[in-house]
Amino acid sequence: MKNGECGMITSLVYRGNKFSALNPAPETLAAVREEPGALLWVDLSNPTDEEIKFILDSTFHFHPLAIEDCVSDAPVPKVEMYDDCMHLVMHAVTCDDEELFKTNEIDLFVGRNFLVSYHRAPQPVIESVLERMSKTSSALVRGPDRFAHTILDGMVDGYKPFLETLRLQVEGLAQRVIQRIDAEELFPRIVALRKQLSQLRQIVRPQRAVALELAQGKNRYIRNVMLPYMRDLEEELGRIETQAASLSDQLILSFRIFLNKTNHEANAGIRVMTAITALTFPTILIGGWYGMNFLDDMPELKMRYGYLCAAVAALLGTVGVWIFMRCKKWL
């Protein structure tokens, strides 16, 4: 293993389909590549500019456009064919401390007898495969497309824990909506979850298209024996995309439930206030009538039982309105 100033280069050499050497001298990689029956895997993890130029340009002579795509961020996964290799741009998922969705680019150059992997951020799936393959000297290796599939398969598996985390967050939010949650807390969480689900679908969909292209048997660097494995990758990515869409729909449904619940509570409050107003209407009407300053022209005020009659009328009016509203099921 060769350590650069900031990066790391790991090289595995196979001869006769069996592991032969770990991290040979970098100067010998070009010769190993031309050696009959040899298979070479070179992994570049956060390499320096000198290491990039030495491996990608001087040793493997990749096309300048492929090198440019490799060292610069490519937001969309893709597959490009060149004369001596196939260039894959894929994205692995990671979560930060706040469990927000992030992706790290992985570039794979698949040739007739070599695989070159490039990534700036540490990739546990690549590190795991490198460690396993460098310690199992008896393991048979059939081709660079097998290496590429192993990396892609681990990358796809890495999406599943993150998708499960999103599922738990969406279900927890739905439970909170049924119980009680404030709008000030709900809206930011819905926006954040919707953004992550949208980003997940946007990155999974083109990767699914890449896997489908690899599974069609039209690529000379993917052997026919590997086509079922590539189809399995496409199906797994399809399931992830479908689940992400389902979670997005569930999130919208939770938001609609919240709005309906809020509207229902608001309508219930308005109904109560309307009922109170209606119940007090007879008393207000009678009190307002007799509260006018027309004493000389209102002889009923001088009746012996005038106050009692007004009170009874107000009470009977209130009871009558209450009975009416109960019959209409407004109360």
Write out pLDDT tens, residues 79-135: 999 988 999 999 988 766 555 667 889 999 999 999 999 998 888 889 888 888 877
pLDDT in tens, 279-293: 777 777 777 766 665
Nearest to 130 by CA among 20, 226, 10, 28: 10
In a domain, 237, yes or no: no
Rounded (5°) CA angle 160-161-166:
95
B/e letters for 300-312, b = 16+ CB within 10 Å, e = fewer, are eeeeeeeeeebee
Question: Domain ends where: 136, 171, 190?
Answer: 136
Q: Is residue 13 part of a domain?
A: yes
Report residues of the chain scoring pLDDT below 50. 1-6
17: domain CATH number is 3.30.460.20
**The domain boundary residue, chosen from 91, 114, 136:** 136
The Cα–Cα gap between 120 and 153 comes to 20
Q: Is residue 12 part of a domain?
A: yes
Q: Which helix (H) or strand (E) holds 135?
A: helix 124-135
In a domain, 210, yes or no: no
Strand 8-15 vs strand 2-3: parallel, antiparallel, or unpaired? antiparallel
Does residue 98 form part of some domain?
A: yes
Which of 136, 155, 180 is the C-terminal boundary of a domain?
136
Looking at the domain assignment, is residue 95 inside a domain? Answer: yes
Q: Note down the domain range covering 291.
A: 265-327
State the total domains in the chain: 2
Specify if 322 maps to a domain.
Answer: yes
Q: What's the pTM value of the predicted model, to 2 decimals? A: 0.75
Amino acid 230: pLDDT: 94
Instruction: Please state, in angstroms and rounded to a whole number, the distance separating the CA atoms of residues 98 and 169.
Output: 13
- Give, in order, the Cα–Cα distances in Å from 25 to each of 21, 29, 37, 55, 116: 10, 7, 19, 12, 16
Residue 213 lies in a domain: no
